[in-house]
Amino acid sequence: MMIMERMQGLHRWSTVDVKTWASTALGSDIAELFEREEITGECLSEISIEELKEMGVQKMGRRLLVMKKLKSLMGAITRGGDLMIDEDKIS
């Protein structure tokens, strides 16, 4: 699978798919926040540290951790690695 195809796969993630990944990678609090804010894969790939603050992630350490995990996800997609999610759960 080419990099663009993998990125398009992320862009097709629903809010449920994002919540599933976030639950594993970031914990239920961020997963529920992403669900409440209707974050899809397309949104996830564009999210910024400032937007996390606007969504209510007040602690800088937590925002930095989220950004680190997002960077790791994007890197895994680019490398074709494990996305830390059960693909059978992706709609």
Q: Is the pLDDT of residue 6 over 60?
A: no
pTM above 0.95, yes or no: no
Torsion of CA 65, 67, 72, 77, to 10 degrees: 150
d(CA 40, CA 12): 8
Q: Mean pLDDT over residues 32-61, rounded?
A: 96
Whether the pLDDT of residue 33 is over 70: the answer is: yes
Least confident piece of the model among 14-18, 37-41, 79-83: 79-83
- Is the confidence at residue 82, as pLDDT, over 50? no
Alpha-helical (H) ranges within the chain are 3-11, 15-25, 28-36, 41-44, 49-55, 60-79
Does position 48 have pLDDT exceeding 80, yes or no? yes
